[in-house]
Amino acid sequence: MNTKIIYGTAWKKERTTSLVVSAVLAGFRAIDTACQPKHYREDLVGEALQILYEKHGYKREDLFLQTKFTPIGGQDTSLPLPYDPSSTVEAQVRSSFATSLRQLRASYLDSFILHSPLETYAETLEAWRVLVGFQDEGLVRAIGLSNAYDPAVLARLGKDSGRAVQVVQNRWYERNGWDRGVAKWCRANGAQYQSFWTLTGSPSLLSHPATAAIAQANDCSPAQAVYRFVQSLGIAPLCGTTDEMHMREDVDADKLDKGGEHFGPLTRFIWG
């Protein structure tokens, strides 16, 4: 199962079903979504999975499924919510998780993450302990956070709960210095770092001479070269392309085997 690149389903709206089917047929094996109607159609991801199972011979274990608990601050309250916002944090997480399992037509998840830290650290810890419980019950294989940019908070959660953060999904782009502090924390602590805004937020990386050299050596696009470089850092990029040709190209990025001598200059360029 290839989890080196993940298909992101945000903002796909009514096209979610067809795009997820296309992405998997193009070679993606990891899918990211969220129980957040504002930006995701998790229910249509589930519909796509059913098509893949019934019409294309895939099995649940062939795919890596990841979804998120989105706190009320990230929800559109005019849309149906997956929990009662007046209930406890624990109840909200449990309700959202149950909704995700139902919508994804799954009995377990490969990864379940908090879409962001909650309003206070105490609430974040309360939610995190629910995730730990899911993992202990065998309902989730990995747990983590998104939009978490302070390595100290990641370390503190692990210390206070007795369960380390295993996945972090963050913006990885020029304006935040390519999130070097958290990315390095993940590498040092065995957590998977997942990047979004990898291409759109990094025009200078896409246009860097070393990127061009990698692309030339492999006869590929600069986007593929950037994905391959990012993967060399131990980072799994999210890709949300709606173009089937780009889907195939991006999945194949990890097969590029030339131009590795240019990874060093790119690493120094982004992280010094």
Question: pLDDT-based confidence at 4, cuts 50/70/90?
Answer: very high
Quick check: is 50 in a domain?
yes
Q: What's the whole-number mean pLDDT along residues 221-241? A: 97
* Cα–Cα distance, 201 to 88 (Å, whole number): 36
| Domain ranges, residue 232 | 6-204+223-256
Quick check: is 121 in a domain?
yes
Per-residue pLDDT tens for 80-120? 999 999 999 999 999 999 999 999 999 999 999 999 999 99
Does the pTM surpass 0.85? The reply is: yes
Of residues 30, 24, 20, 36, the one with CA closest to residue 142 = 30
For residue 124, the domain's CATH number is 3.20.20.100
**Phi then psi for 105, rounded to 5 degrees?**
55, 45
Beta bridge partners of 196: 171
Domain count, the chain: 1
Are the CB atoms for 52 and 24 separated by under 8 Å? yes
Beta bridge partners of 143: 112
* Cα–Cα distance, 94 to 166 (Å, whole number): 20
Quick check: is 271 in a domain?
no
Output the six-digit token pair for 61.
């274990």
Quick check: is 209 in a domain?
no
SS3 category, 193: strand
Quick check: is 263 in a domain?
no
pLDDT at 10 over 80: yes
Of residues 115, 144, 146, the one with CA closest to residue 132 = 144
Of residues 7, 60, 49, 29, the one with CA closest to residue 227 = 7
Quick check: is 214 in a domain?
no
The one-letter code for the residue type at 246 is H
Quick check: is 196 in a domain?
yes
Q: What's the whole-number mean pLDDT along residues 167-196? A: 97
* Cα–Cα distance, 16 to 185 (Å, whole number): 33
Q: What percent of the chain has pLDDT over 90?
A: 99
Quick check: is 246 in a domain?
yes
